[in-house]
Chain A
Amino acid sequence: MSVEITTPRFKDNAKKALADLPLQGALSKVGPGFIGKRAAAAEKLPEFDALRDSARDIKNHTLAHLDLYLERFEAKAKEAGGHVHFAVDAAEARAIVTDICKRLGAKTVTKGKSMISEEIGLNDHLAAAGIQPVETDLGEYLIQIRGEAPSHIIAPAIHLNKDQVEADFRRVHAHLPPERDLSEPTSLLAEARGELRQKFLAADVGITGANFLVAETGTSIIVTNEGNGDLTQTLPKAHIVLASLEKLVPTLEDVSQILRVLARSATGQDMSVYTTFSTGPRRPGDPDGPGEYHVVILDNGRSSMLGGQLREVLRCIRCGACMNHCPVYHAVGGHAYGWVYPGPIGSVLTPALIGVEKGRNLPNASTFCGRCEEVCPMRIPLPKLMRHWREKEFERHLTPATQRFGLGVWGFFARRGWLYRPATRLAIGALSLLGRTKGRFAALPLAGGWTQHRDFPAPQGDTFQAQWRARQAERRAASGRGVH
Chain B
Amino acid sequence: MTAHTSPDGARHPRVGLFCTCLVDTIRPSVGFAAAKLLEDAGCEVAVPPQTCCGQPAFNSGDRATTRALAEEMITAFETFDYVVAPSGSCAGMIKTHYPELFTGEPDWAGRVERFCAKVFELTSFLVDVRGVTCVEAAYDGTVTYHDSCSGLRELGVKAQPRLLLSSVEGLALEEMKDADTCCGFGGTFCVKYPDVSNAIVEKKSANIAATGADTLLAGDLGCLMNMAGKLQREGHAVRALHVAEVLAGMGNAPAIGEPAAREAKR
Contact = CB atoms under 8 A, between A and B. Distances in A.
A80 B101 CA distance: 50
A362 B108 CA distance: 33
Contacts of B254: 439
A455 B61 contact: no
A115 to B, nearest CB: 24
A327 B262 CA distance: 35
A209 to B, nearest CB: 30
B156 to A, nearest CB: 11
Contact of B62 (A11, A407, A421, A462): A407
Nearest to A457: B257
Interface stretch (B4-12, B131-139, B168-176, B178-186): B178-186
A137 B20 CA distance: 51
Contacts of A18: 195-196, 199
A428 B25 contact: yes
Contact of B182 (A369, A392, A428, A450): A369
Contact of B61 (A15, A399, A437, A462): A399
B195 A14 contact: yes
B47 to A, nearest CB: 5
Contacts of B195: 11, 14-15, 18, 453
Given A394-B62, A415-B68, A452 B194 contact: yes
Interface in A404-420: 407, 410-411, 413-415, 417, 420
Interface residues of A, number: 69
A420 B51 contact: yes
Interface stretch (B114-122, B158-166, B209-217, B227-235): B227-235
B31 interface: yes
Contacts of B230: 453-454
B149 A366 contact: no
A327 B60 contact: no
A303 B198 CA distance: 39
A464 B86 CA distance: 13
A139 interface: no
A369 B149 contact: yes
A364 interface: yes
A393 interface: yes
A354 interface: no
B71 to A, nearest CB: 10
Nearest to B201: A454
B61 A391 contact: yes
Interface in B51-85: 51-52, 54, 56-63, 65, 68-69, 72
B49 interface: yes
B225 A456 contact: yes
A368 interface: yes
B124 interface: no
Nearest to A367: B186
Contacts of B197: 367, 453
Given A327-B181, A463-B25, A465-B50, A449 B192 contact: yes
B182 A371 contact: yes
Chain A contact residues, majority secondary structure: helix
A321 B80 CA distance: 42
Interface string B227-262: 011101100000000000000000000101111101
Contact of A332 (B62, B199, B257): B199
Interface string A463-478: 1110111000000000
Interface string A333-369: 0000000000000000000000000000000111111
Contact of B154 (A328, A370, A427): A370
A450 B191 contact: yes
A4 to B, nearest CB: 22
Contacts of B200: 327-328, 330-331, 367
Most chain B CB inside 10 Å of its own CB: which residue of A368, A387, A436, A457:
A457
Interface string A362-403: 001111111101100000000000010111111100010001
Given A390-B60, A411-B62, A440-B232, A457 B153 contact: no
Interface of B: 19, 21, 23-32, 35, 47, 49-52, 54, 56-63, 65, 68-69, 72, 149-150, 153-154, 178, 181-182, 184-201, 225-226, 228-230, 232-233, 254, 256-260, 262
28 contacts: A327-B182, A331-B199, A332-B199, A364-B192, A368-B59, A369-B149, A369-B182, A371-B181, A399-B61, A415-B72, A417-B50, A420-B51, A440-B229, A440-B232, A440-B258, A449-B190, A450-B191, A450-B229, A452-B198, A453-B198, A456-B257, A457-B228, A458-B257, A460-B26, A464-B19, A464-B23, A467-B32, A468-B47
Can you list the 3 inter-chain pairs with the closest CB atoms, starting with the nearest?
A367-B186, A454-B229, A394-B61
